[in-house]
Amino acid sequence: MNNDLLHRIALTLVPNIGPVQAKILVDHFGNATDIFKAKKSSLDKLEGIGEKRASCIKLFTGFKKAETEIAFIEKYKIAPLFLTDTDYPKRLLNCYDPPTLLYYRGSANLNAGKMIAIVGTRGKTEYGKQLTEKLLAGLEAQSATVVSGLALGVDAIAHKAALKHHLPTVAVIAHGLDNMYPAEHAVLAKSIIKQNGGLLTEFRSNTKPDKHNFPSRNRIVAGMCDATIVIETDVKGGSMITAELANGYNRDVFAFPGRTTDTKSSGCNYLIKNNKAILLTDASDLIETLGWKEINIKPKKIQQELFIQLSPEEKIIVDILKEKEPAAIDELNIKSNLSSSMVAAAILNLELQNVIASLPGKMYKLL
């Protein structure tokens, strides 16, 4: 049993000890094991800890839960990243409430030189989809790492566009790594890991995607990046929370403007109007503002590859679309006689190979 890892996990389980208090303790004692070994008198005199929290540490008995989590980590080859670890996302350390411990699956560098967060509405429009894809196409030469939350809508589009343009992408999730939410993004999550990306969370296994977990997830998205880009959002919602958090962390925030009558752009327009976001029109605006070097590359002509080797499942989907397009996901499921997971995997691979394109309403067409 890794004794220090046991105490690191245990520290996240102690009642009344959140990320802020844990950082105070780690900064003072240097490691998790010494926190639990410390005398109560040494703990309660620390500013921000006090007698009540010191008692919670000394009376803690939930080490069995920590042992169970270690078994899960080892079984699924998950990397636990503590505040003091070399691979811990260093940008988060500049935030007042960095996660005490992160659980990571993947190979993307969490301390890459260029990291951007992309957030937006779950009910995306074709306008938002085009903005996201155009932005990431313009950042391909920058090799920027794209961070988002794997949610429906803009998040999923951002991850897919990053994969398409060979950009590392990290999905920060609001639950444990033993399940995937939403379930329909399980295939996308596997593709992210396969293509040198990663899945990151501060939540232990068996943690459900409860509503209150998402603001905590959003602070990681905002804090681990140089800038947060808001594609489309109403004036209320998770994207606005992420933008506010990024501002609070002194990160750059960008937003694409939209029509004044479009509710899905009302949040972006609000951020720009109130000087909480820099108006963004394309990738060059971002590159210039962040001081990244402009790299001139020949634009790629997006077209269907004539000699792509399609899997049997992918060929079935293509043949259906040749007969009738656009086609809805339900229609593809029925006509293909494939399982829904096989259809989802085939569709994702075809999208990444520029063979098909997704349309609003979960419709698909050939390119």
Q: Which CATH number goes with the domain that contains 349?
A: 1.10.10.10
Domain boundary among 240, 257, 290: 290
Domain boundary among 290, 324, 357: 290
Q: Is the pLDDT of residue 134 over 80?
A: yes
The number of angstroms, rounded, from the C-alpha of 253 to the middle of its chain's C-alpha atoms is: 16
Q: Is 240 exposed, middle or buried (0-12, 13-18, 19+ CB in 10 A)?
A: buried
User: Hey, is 314 helix, strand or coil?
Assistant: helix
| Residue 307 banded pLDDT, cuts 50, 70, 90 | low
Residues 265, 316 within the same domain? no
- Residues 276-292 have a mean pLDDT of 94
| Residue 304 banded pLDDT, cuts 50, 70, 90 | very low
Query: Closest Cα partner for 111 from 232, 200, 173, 237?
Result: 200
What are the tens digits of pLDDT across the range 18-60? Answer: 999 999 999 999 999 999 999 999 999 999 999 999 999 999 9
Q: Is the pLDDT of residue 350 over 60?
A: yes
Rounded to whole angstroms, the Cα distance separating 198 from 108 reads 6
Residues 204, 68 within the same domain? no
Residues 327, 282 within the same domain? no
Q: Which comes out higher in pLDDT, residue 356 or 57?
A: 57
Q: Which CATH number goes with the domain that contains 169?
A: 3.40.50.450
Q: What is the pLDDT of residue 39?
A: 95
Q: Is the pLDDT of residue 303 over 80?
A: no
Q: What is the pLDDT of residue 168?
A: 97
- Residues 167-194 have a mean pLDDT of 95
Q: What is the pLDDT of residue 346?
A: 87
- Residues 73-79 have a mean pLDDT of 95
Residues 210, 248 within the same domain? yes
Q: Is 102 exposed, middle or buried (0-12, 13-18, 19+ CB in 10 A)?
A: buried
Residues 213, 74 within the same domain? no
Q: What's the CA dihedral at 12, 17, 21, 27 to 10 degrees?
A: -40
Residues 36, 84 within the same domain? yes
Please give the residue range of the domain that contains residue 249: 115-290
Q: Is 221 a member of any domain?
A: yes
Q: Is the pLDDT of residue 1 over 80?
A: no
Q: Is 297 a member of any domain?
A: no
Residues 183, 261 within the same domain? yes
The number of angstroms, rounded, from the C-alpha of 95 to the middle of its chain's C-alpha atoms is: 17
Q: What is the pLDDT of residue 237?
A: 82
pTM value? 0.84
Residues 155, 271 within the same domain? yes
What are the tens digits of pLDDT across the range 79-88? Answer: 999 999 999 9
Sign, CA torsion 297/111/132/342: positive
Q: Is 303 a member of any domain?
A: no
Q: Is 27 a member of any domain?
A: yes
- Residues 316-338 have a mean pLDDT of 87
Rounded to whole angstroms, the Cα distance separating 139 from 284 reads 9
Q: Which CATH number goes with the domain that contains 39?
A: 1.10.150.20
Q: What is the pLDDT of residue 296?
A: 57
Q: What is the pLDDT of residue 110?
A: 97
Q: Is 295 a member of any domain?
A: no
| Residue 155 banded pLDDT, cuts 50, 70, 90 | very high
Q: What is the pLDDT of residue 88?
A: 97
Q: What is the pLDDT of residue 328?
A: 85
When divided into structural domains, the chain yields a total of 3
- Residues 151-173 have a mean pLDDT of 96
Residues 191, 228 within the same domain? yes
Q: Is 304 a member of any domain?
A: no
Q: Is the pLDDT of residue 130 over 60?
A: yes
Q: Is 301 a member of any domain?
A: no
Q: Is the pLDDT of residue 102 over 80?
A: yes
Residues 270, 174 within the same domain? yes
| Residue 341 banded pLDDT, cuts 50, 70, 90 | confident
Q: Whole-number mean pLDDT of the chain?
A: 92
| Residue 244 banded pLDDT, cuts 50, 70, 90 | very high
Q: Is the pLDDT of residue 300 over 80?
A: no
Q: Which comes out higher in pLDDT, residue 339 or 294?
A: 339
Q: Is 195 a member of any domain?
A: yes
